[in-house]
């Protein structure tokens, strides 16, 4: 049986199950991430999970703070996302616009930013 033979709901269920094992996130974030990886917008995820769009954005912000922006991007069908904590080296490799985007999501989620990540990293916070 291929991925093409599985219903979308089952694909989301399987992806959420993987995320529960791979990432340190609480419910219902694994399911929200599974929808995000499948290409759903925050409003689409909110409708599927019967919650508000700003709640979904808050969940995505927490995940991005801990794991980086790639953890909340859409993925190719069947691709397994990686959930290694964001490192200083990775953060330093971000271009300034991408670093600013990450900071916009992460700044209100300090409890989810890996310890020591911001030491020695320059982030222009003047825009916020």
Interval 43-86: pLDDT, tens: 999 999 999 999 999 999 999 999 999 999 998 877 888 899 99
Range of the domain at 33: 3-112
Task: State the pLDDT at residue 1.
Answer: 53
What is the distance in angstroms between the CA of the first residue and the CA of the last residue of the chain? Answer: 49
Residue 25 tokens, joined:
């996130």
Is 79 a member of any domain?
Answer: yes
Per-residue pLDDT band for 127 (boundaries 50, 70, 90) equals very low
Average pLDDT, the chain: 88
Task: State the pLDDT at residue 52.
Answer: 98
Is 120 a member of any domain?
Answer: no
CB count within 10 Å of CB 7 equals 8
CA dihedral 62, 126, 53, 83 (to 10 degrees): -30
Task: State the pLDDT at residue 53.
Answer: 97
Q: Per the structure, how many domains does the chain have?
A: 1
- pTM value > 0.85: no
Is 122 a member of any domain?
Answer: no
Is 46 a member of any domain?
Answer: yes
Task: State the pLDDT at residue 124.
Answer: 66
């Amino acid at each position: 049986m291929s991925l093409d033979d599985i219903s979308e709901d089952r694909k989301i269920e399987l992806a959420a199950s993987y995320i529960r094992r791979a990432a340190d996130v609480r419910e219902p974030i694994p399911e929200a991430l599974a929808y995000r990886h499948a290409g759903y917008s925050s409003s689409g995820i909110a409708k599927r999970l019967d919650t508000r769009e700003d709640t979904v954005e808050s969940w995505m912000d927490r995940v991005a703070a801990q794991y980086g922006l790639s953890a909340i991007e859409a993925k190719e069908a069947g691709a397994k996302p990686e959930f290694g904590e964001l490192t200083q080296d990775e953060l330093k490799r971000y271009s300034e616009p991408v670093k600013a985007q990450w900071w916009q999501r992460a700044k209100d989620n300090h409890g989810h930013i890996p310890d020591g990540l911001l030491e020695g990293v320059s982030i222009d916070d003047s825009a916020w």
